[in-house]
Amino acid sequence: MLHPFNVDNGMPAEILQLIFDNLVGETGTLARVGLVSRSWRTLSLPFLLKDVDLSSHNNGRLPEYETPSFPLLRGITMADYSDEYRPRSLIPRQRAFLRLIIDRPELAMHVKAFTWTLVWIDFEEDGLTDMDLRAWDVFSRLQNVARLDLASLHNIRDQPYIRQNPARLFPAITHLRLVGWMHRGLVKTILASLDASKLSSLELDHLQDEGALPSGEPIPQDLATKHSHHQGDPYGDEGIDETLWARQERGDAAIFPGPMWFPLRFLRQRYLGSMKHLHIRLGPFTDTLDQRNCITMFHETAQFIRSTKDTLKSISIGLGEHPTLHCKDEDLLGSCGTSRIRIRQIYRPFCFDLTSAFLHRILAVLTEEQFPHLTRVDLEGFRIIRSGTSRLARPPSLDLTWQYIRDCPFVDEGFTKTANVDYRQPFSGYDYYLSEMDQDKLDELEEILERS
């Protein structure tokens, strides 16, 4: 036990604690402090654990992985794109943390900020280790985490444990950020565990639904692509209604990959008395995924803003623009003629309709409602509004769009000039097929997917 007045007959413990508290977040420094002596390690360890960052998704651009052969399409690699782009030390460091909390569970109470990338299996490994199988147990002990930054970046569908999270996780959250593609059950557990009345900040950063078959197993990429609803009216359709959502929750319908709107709908049905900051980032649109998820995301974002209008202080919404959207035709000479025609005649109009529909929903809420505390609204990725054309040829007129912009008290037309080029590929399901299923079962599944 430490002497209350000094440590190793040196500096008083109270002074050291103040110093260590100022070093929270400087992991390397605090780790070296613990090497001075056993007593210093005992005293500094709670401060080392106060802000735990065992992640790779916040490392930004990774030039060492970039391919210069076709820079327009594959010239930028981001750390939050895949589990491939992580340091070799990440999994060993994560397992060391799990082992520490298992050996000394009393230390879990000191973790107040937690940043973690779920990649699960290390390079050149085939499956989960015994330590990995303790991850949910350790996470459930982190009862005092107020700031959670959790990313899921893996290509694992055949490890059931990954989707068997406990029923209660991180109940003390006030600031929540979710990144990557996630099993809806994990997100639901986190949202159901927190006190919504104390949630102050919500960030959905390229958050995508992993997708699921009615059985709960991840949906294969080819089945998701085949049975997704690729057509829809983004200006009028609300996408996934309450009835279909209830069927998905019961396991009577499939969940298709796409932007995860689920947190917004789940949370807005609860009391959000402290919600101050909303941050949403969506990846580039694609016509290969279920359009209903995009349409539902637009609707739920607007409804969430409306439901938190009395407390919101800032809103940040970004749409990822595919690099081909605004490039010159000569920049596409490296692609085939069919691809160039498709981009020009199908993809750009498709993106215009979705972008326009989203903007109309957002601006309508910002204009119609009163926001007593809102001081900042950032919108990015709406450049196509200035130069795009409609695939449907029947959206609200551009004159109406510009009138919305002029009437909105929080924005001016300058936001339509802001670029937000995004090289991330959307998650479209895991690359596997149900080869072991007999034909009758497969036909039954296909029928269910058609009704989903």
Encoded tokens for 274: 């402290």
pLDDT attached to residue 1: 35
299, 239 contact by CB (below 8 A): yes
289, 213 contact by CB (below 8 A): no
111, 52 contact by CB (below 8 A): yes
Strand, helix or coil for residue 402: helix
pLDDT digits (tens, 9 = 90+) for 128-178: 999 999 999 999 999 999 999 999 999 999 999 999 999 999 999 999 999
Q: What is the pTM of this model?
A: 0.89
Encoded tokens for 330: 């000569």
The yes-or-no verdict on residue 347 having pLDDT over 90 is: no
pLDDT attached to residue 317: 97
Average pLDDT, the chain: 86
Q: CA-based angle 371:377:382, to the nearest 5?
A: 130
Please list, in sequence order, all residues whose beta carbon lies within 8 angstroms of the beta carbon of residue 16, skipping any fewer than 6 positions away: 7, 40, 43, 44
pLDDT attached to residue 192: 97
pLDDT digits (tens, 9 = 90+) for 79-133: 999 999 999 999 999 999 999 999 989 999 999 999 999 999 999 999 999 999 9
Long-range contacts of 120-123 (CB under 8 A, 24+ apart): 120/154, 120/156, 120/159, 120/162, 121/91, 121/154, 121/156, 121/159, 122/91, 122/92, 123/88, 123/91
Neighbours of 247 (CB within 10 A): 17
The yes-or-no verdict on residue 8 having pLDDT over 90 is: no
**Residues of the chain above pLDDT 70, percent:** 82
Q: How confident is the model at residue 4 (pLDDT cuts 50, 70, 90)?
A: very low
112, 146 contact by CB (below 8 A): yes
Q: How confident is the model at residue 5 (pLDDT cuts 50, 70, 90)?
A: very low
Q: Which helix (H) or strand (E) holds 50?
A: helix 38-50
Place of tokens 């509004």: 385
Query: CA 51 to CA 152: how far, in whole Å?
Result: 19
pLDDT attached to residue 441: 79
* Distance between start and end Cα atoms, the chain: 61
pLDDT digits (tens, 9 = 90+) for 392-451: 766 667 777 888 889 999 999 999 998 898 988 899 999 887 776 778 778 888 888 888
pLDDT digits (tens, 9 = 90+) for 292-344: 999 999 999 999 999 999 999 999 999 999 887 776 665 555 566 555 556 66
Place of tokens 């309508």: 364
Query: CA 343 to CA 341: how far, in whole Å?
Result: 5
Strand, helix or coil for residue 303: helix
Place of tokens 């750390």: 79
